[in-house]
Structure 1
Amino acid sequence: MFKRYVCNGDCEVYFSKFFDSLEEGFLLNEVICGSDGIPLDFKILELNNYFINMAGGSRENIVGKTIKELYPDIDTKWIDACGQVASSGKGMQQNIYFKTIDKYFKVNIISPIKGQVIIIFNDITDITDIMKANEVLKKHFILFENAKDIILYINADERIIDANKTAVEKYGYSRVEFLNMKLQQLRHPLTMKDYQEQMEMSSSYGIVYECVNVRKDGSSFPVEVSSRTTEINGELVRIHIIRDITERKQYEEKIKYLANYDALTDIPNRGFLMKQFKKILEQSKRNKYKFAVMLFDVDKFKSINDLHGHNAGDEVLKNIAKRLQENVRKADIIGRLGGDEFLVIQPFIKTKDDASNLANRMLDYVAKPVQWNNVNLDVDISIGIAIYPGDSDNMKDLIHNADNAMYFTKKKGGKDYNFYITE
């Protein structure tokens, strides 16, 4: 009866047309197992047009091939599942991802006879979209939680709606505490004057800026903030990626310091000293002030290096700089020109007596012996002094004249000072 009324006597042709008309993929396979009985692959015995279109190619090029030949990157767990159904006869449902065509399918796996499986593929776009969305969310969460930078999500009311693990570690607040806070509470009060403008720029086209943030314990640290506003589920959300730049700022300060200060003595180096000299000169010209330029070096410094080594010489220079810093006025400027040569600028003097008083104090400060490896090193200096504006009105000549006066002191035996005398 079935053959007469349904198949018209040719059931094979009927079922072939039937399966080709299905809106699901149909695949009849023979499971290929290894010597240990573990499924390794499966060979395609029959398929319908849907699967041909899905796989690409023709029936002749697909039948007889294994699924790994068609999809080399297929998940081996799926082959294991087909093997279980083929051996047990118990069907199952699964979701499977084909990387080659970037699509998920809901599949039904059944076994008509032992060792074979029929797989029916349902192409449900929603499954693909949901699975892809879940993958994106999973990757986002991993990045969000493991980012070295602080990441905060802020809503239109300036409230924090999410904070990552680094934010918890850096600020000291728990996630629950963050959800009851506004972004402004993390900013140092002195940076708030720029806050509104920065947030407006974030809303417009994004902004990167530096400011200072405050931890729960009240301590502060410098940060670099990358802020951009985006729409999530119809709501405007501002994303802040915040980097702790404490180390960078310390490094920048160190570079700045080394550019201006002598590494050995921690007093201004020649470059910075000349900048300060220039400022004093300009102020004195405007306000008609006098100032003294004192140039000095260490008497018999070469002998100290030759007898006790350069480390001993370095110790002498460090002691000289320290003693001068501790005993001159804050307004006085001390710097190292190089080697054992130092320069002192004494601004706002009235007469040469002011310079003489400082020179005598300097001789006293420095004259104390420096201890080095249980040896007392005797230290004396020779000072030359030039006065602005009487001896010159420019930096070059003032230094040159002070230098001449210093060498005159040395010729007389050192341990003293002399003013420049016009020849």
Structure 2
Amino acid sequence: MMNTIEEHKLAFMNFTSGLLGGGGVQIDIKPPSRVLLVDDEPRMLSSLGELLKTGGYQLATAVSGFEAIDHLGKGKFDLVILDMSLPDISGREVMDFIISSDVDTDVIVVSGNNDIDSAIGALKRGAFDYLRKPYAREELLKAVGNVLKQRDLKADNQRFAWQLESSERVYRYFVENSPDIIYTLNNEGMFTFVNNRVEQLLGLSREELIGKHYSSLVHDEDNELARYVFIERRVDERASRNVELRLRSHKGYCESRTFENSLLTISFSSMGMYALNQNENNPEFLGTYGVARDITERKRAEELIAYHAYHDILTDLPNRVLFKDRLGLSIIQSQRNETKLAVMFIDLDRFKLVNDSMGHVRGDELLQQVAVRLKECLRRSDTLARLGGDEFILSIPDLRDRQDVAEIAEKFLDCLQQPFFLGSTEVRISASIGIAMYPDDGSSIEELVRHADLAMYHVKAQGKNGHSFYDSSMVDASHQKLVVEQDLHRALERGELEMYYQPQVDVSTGRIVAAEALMRWNHPERGLLTPSEFLPFAEENGLMIPISDWMLESICNDLIEWNTTLNEPVRVALNLSPQYLERGKFVEKLTSALKRHEISPQQIEIEVTENTFIRNPDHAIEQFNRLCQLGVSIAIDDFGTGYSSLAYLQRFSIHTLKIDQSFVKEIHWESAHSPIILAIISIAKGLGLNVVAEGVETEIQSRYLERAGCNIMQGYLYHRPIPKTKLIQKLAELESEQLEKSFEQAGAK
């Protein structure tokens, strides 16, 4: 990149060349700024276009890196608004093309990536600004305005420089109107010339500066560096470039401003100014010529970017990078002072439920309130950071023993158990806290963080809402988890998965009216595993969709066998993972499977939790409407355990509400009063929906539910989950009994 003086010289030479060749000054009308929008998301491109079209810019769009490069190769753009994540090549490669091809354009990077390396990489490649998604519209508009304003200023500088060697009059005119401070010093460092820009930026007139030493302007801490800037004796390519200094402001200007100084030393030989009988081999040094450009706003932007690179934008807490840096310093201090240090890993319980049911905006508000509460419990020497999501981590130095840490953990748990208010809604959460001690549980940053994380998961497994210190036995449990994850990858290939079915009984007739499909894993070493023991691993490792594909095909094959064996068709309820509904093309796969196996859609009921459709209502409405058009019924599982609004029940095509077993378990005597169960049954009847009670285990529960108006029940009182062969046998026996009763009734008549 040219230094400032070279920009002035080259622009002025081009300008005067035009004057001499063209016979006069040509005034150009500036065309509208051309802006290239690069993003692989059509909605984002449309949103950017709508936001920028009012600015009078000429817009072009690209949905991939190669398309952006094609645009840049064919036409000139003033600005590229570039997404770093593109489907073919990365935004960094597009910026590398701009650099290698010397494309004259500026770049504003927008990215959803919170990685500090991404921001630093973009800035090193010359990005004007780096915005993280989601960004405020005012933030983007300001960045676009700043970069185009800077280009305008640069263009003005070039136009100014075109006239520098054409005539002294033109030179003086443009020097005085330059956006930079232009100055000359004599060999003693006294100002001999300075343009009017100094008054606009520093509040000092040229008359006040002429004859004064440069040090009167320089910040005290920068005086030593200023000597190499203002008393510069080198010339041409050896002259000092891009040196930053802080200059004082006067006359009510309350802030120091930062300047980038580009210098050119003037000597007799370079200026062609010689005294009579001058020795050409030893020209006399006359002074310094320089241009100072105000880069205060750029420095502020760099400081802001650097701050965001080390802090979490949402909570303003240190992020992972800054935490590790501070933890490293604390470890060194603990070694020196022979004290203990604790790393505390904090994970919020039930945050996902709040986030899914109330939305990400409320979830962000909750995280901000949590951060404020936790910070109020800290000492100044402690470091609290947010790792992402609902995970926080804390470094606590200068400890005597574990009891000190336990008291701090209990203090955190107590403060988090107080209610949070998100709008008008009261929300209660808890936390699982894992603790690792230095030097007992590790001597490195990685060991301490990993062991605190293991201790936190141990609390999760024990029921959450508590704290635990790391113990070496937790490593074995963690290893066992990895083994399960690895075995799960092979379970599908080995045919170790199997469908079980738990019947749903109409207690008024004793008939089995439906069966809920429940997956089991015949693990070669651990035996029969229930869904809660392996499906969470499947969701974490991207196996939920292939496992759900297998489940759908297996249920269809079982239905074919039942329909062939039994006289009456059986309706099967299958639980649907949110991942499968949103990303697994479930409706298309179900439609194809039913058609291929010639199964009636009326035999299928889809069970989803209420949080599944609340997290993306519009998508859920579309999917459920398609299922209903197909003839499939829909049930809400675990109804009443989330934060759903009753208004959703009228928007969605729902056929059945299932009362969660946690409510059923609270029925201990027939005269009990369970307002939640009564409310659910009342809601179902009012909306014309079926209602099914889960987890019925006692006669008392059954009689209470039946009197309340719920006749369809599911639970160990009637049937445990059984393989398909036993279910077929059970259904066949019931059909036989029903047939015998029919014959007996016919004979009696």
Shared topology, TM-score over 0.5? yes
Q: Please list the CA deviations of residues 194-223 of structure 1 after superposition, one character each: whole Å capped at 9, or x if unmatched.
A: 333434444564212111000113531111
Distance in 2 between residues matched to 1:133 and 1:376, nearest whole Å:
70
Distance in 2 between residues matched to 1:267 and 1:202, nearest whole Å:
48
Structure 2 counterpart of 1:223, one-letter code: F
Report the equivalent of 1:248.
Answer: 298
Report the equivalent of 1:108.
Answer: none
In the alignment, does 2:371 pair up with 1:321?
yes
Quote how far apart the aligned CAs of 1:133 are: 10
Report the equivalent of 1:373.
Answer: 423
In the alignment, does 2:438 pair up with 1:388?
yes
Quote how far apart the aligned CAs of 1:179 are: 2.1
* 1:152 and 1:167 in contact (8 A); partners too: no
Structure 1 counterpart of 2:409, one-letter code: A
Quote how far apart the aligned CAs of 1:135 are: 4.3
Distance in 2 between residues matched to 1:142 and 1:393, nearest whole Å:
67
Quote how far apart the aligned CAs of 1:403 are: 2.2
Distance in 2 between residues matched to 1:221 and 1:74, nearest whole Å:
42
Q: More displaced, 276-285 or 219-228?
A: 276-285
* 1:203 and 1:238 in contact (8 A); partners too: no
Distance in 2 between residues matched to 1:74 and 1:383, nearest whole Å:
80
Quote how far apart the aligned CAs of 1:399 are: 2.4
Q: 1:166-177 residue pairs with structure 2 within 5 A? A: 166-177=197-208
* 1:316 and 1:379 in contact (8 A); partners too: no
Seen in structure 2, the aligned counterparts of structure 1 residues 356 and 133 have a Cα distance that, compared at 3 Å, is: closer
Quote how far apart the aligned CAs of 1:343 are: 0.8
Report the equivalent of 1:272.
Answer: 322
Report the equivalent of 1:156.
Answer: 187
Seen in structure 2, the aligned counterparts of structure 1 residues 272 and 219 have a Cα distance that, compared at 3 Å, is: closer
Report the equivalent of 1:123.
Answer: none
Distance in 2 between residues matched to 1:134 and 1:262, nearest whole Å:
52
Distance in 2 between residues matched to 1:325 and 1:73, nearest whole Å:
69
Report the equivalent of 1:301.
Answer: 351
Distance in 2 between residues matched to 1:134 and 1:334, nearest whole Å:
60
Quote how far apart the aligned CAs of 1:242 are: 0.6
Quote how far apart the aligned CAs of 1:74 are: 7.5
In the alignment, does 2:265 pair up with 1:229?
yes
Report the equivalent of 1:94.
Answer: none
Quote how far apart the aligned CAs of 1:175 are: 2.5
Q: How many residues end up aligned between the 2 structures?
A: 296
* 1:382 and 1:406 in contact (8 A); partners too: yes
Q: 1:170-249 residue pairs with structure 2 within 5 A? A: 170-202=201-233, 205-208=238-241, 209-217=243-251, 219-231=255-267, 233=273, 236-249=286-299
* 2:183 and 2:193 in contact (8 A); partners too: yes
Local SS of the residue matching 2:302: helix
Distance in 2 between residues matched to 1:74 and 1:148, nearest whole Å:
27
Question: Going by fraction, where is strand more abundant, 1 or 2?
Answer: 1
Local SS of the residue matching 1:256: helix
Quote how far apart the aligned CAs of 1:134 are: 9.2
* 2:226 and 2:245 in contact (8 A); partners too: no
* 1:296 and 1:382 in contact (8 A); partners too: yes
Quote how far apart the aligned CAs of 1:311 are: 1.1
Quote how far apart the aligned CAs of 1:225 are: 0.9
Local SS of the residue matching 2:429: coil
* 2:347 and 2:433 in contact (8 A); partners too: yes
Distance in 2 between residues matched to 1:328 and 1:74, nearest whole Å:
74
TM-score normalised by length of structure 1: 0.64
Quote how far apart the aligned CAs of 1:185 are: 0.9
Local SS of the residue matching 2:371: helix
Structure 1 counterpart of 2:172, one-letter code: F
Local SS of the residue matching 2:328: helix
Local SS of the residue matching 2:379: coil
Distance in 2 between residues matched to 1:421 and 1:133, nearest whole Å:
76
Structure 1 counterpart of 2:198, one-letter code: A
Seen in structure 2, the aligned counterparts of structure 1 residues 175 and 195 have a Cα distance that, compared at 3 Å, is: closer
Question: Going by fraction, where is helix more abundant, 1 or 2?
Answer: 2
Quote how far apart the aligned CAs of 1:342 are: 1.0
Distance in 1 between residues matched to 2:164 and 2:384, nearest whole Å:
67
Structure 2 counterpart of 1:183, one-letter code: Y
Rg larger in 1 or in 2? 1
Quote how far apart the aligned CAs of 1:157 are: 3.1
* 2:346 and 2:456 in contact (8 A); partners too: yes
* 2:185 and 2:288 in contact (8 A); partners too: yes
Q: Please list the CA deviations of residues 35-86 of structure 1 after superposition, one character each: whole Å capped at 9, or x if unmatched.
A: xxxxxxxxxxxxxxxxxxxxxxxxxxxxxxxxxxxxx9779xxxxxxxxxxx
In the alignment, does 2:178 pair up with 1:147?
yes
Local SS of the residue matching 1:384: strand
Seen in structure 2, the aligned counterparts of structure 1 residues 412 and 140 have a Cα distance that, compared at 3 Å, is: same
Distance in 1 between residues matched to 2:351 and 2:343, nearest whole Å:
22
More relative contact order, 1 or 2 (CA 8 Å, 6+ apart) = 1
Structure 2 counterpart of 1:317, one-letter code: L
Seen in structure 2, the aligned counterparts of structure 1 residues 220 and 238 have a Cα distance that, compared at 3 Å, is: same
Distance in 2 between residues matched to 1:155 and 1:74, nearest whole Å:
37
Local SS of the residue matching 1:393: coil
Report the equivalent of 1:363.
Answer: 413
Seen in structure 2, the aligned counterparts of structure 1 residues 402 and 272 have a Cα distance that, compared at 3 Å, is: same
Q: 1:14-53 residue pairs with structure 2 within 5 A? A: none
Choose the corresponding residue for 1:136, options 146, 164, 167: 167
Report the equivalent of 1:353.
Answer: 403
Report the equivalent of 1:335.
Answer: 385
Seen in structure 2, the aligned counterparts of structure 1 residues 140 and 291 have a Cα distance that, compared at 3 Å, is: same
Quote how far apart the aligned CAs of 1:165 are: 2.1
* 2:196 and 2:205 in contact (8 A); partners too: no
Structure 2 counterpart of 1:413, one-letter code: G
Report the equivalent of 1:24.
Answer: none
In the alignment, does 2:455 pair up with 1:405?
yes
Distance in 2 between residues matched to 1:198 and 1:133, nearest whole Å:
23
Structure 2 counterpart of 1:364, one-letter code: D
Local SS of the residue matching 1:257: helix
Report the equivalent of 1:78.
Answer: none
Seen in structure 2, the aligned counterparts of structure 1 residues 160 and 73 have a Cα distance that, compared at 3 Å, is: closer
Local SS of the residue matching 1:207: coil
Q: More displaced, 250-259 or 397-406?
A: 397-406
Q: More displaced, 413-422 or 237-246?
A: 413-422
Q: More displaced, 210-219 or 134-143?
A: 134-143
* 2:219 and 2:246 in contact (8 A); partners too: yes
Structure 1 counterpart of 2:433, one-letter code: I
Distance in 1 between residues matched to 2:376 and 2:232, nearest whole Å:
49
Distance in 2 between residues matched to 1:225 and 1:274, nearest whole Å:
37
Local SS of the residue matching 2:167: helix
* 1:202 and 1:227 in contact (8 A); partners too: no
Quote how far apart the aligned CAs of 1:144 are: 0.6
Q: 1:281-292 residue pairs with structure 2 within 5 A? A: 281-292=331-342
Q: More displaced, 365-374 or 197-206?
A: 197-206
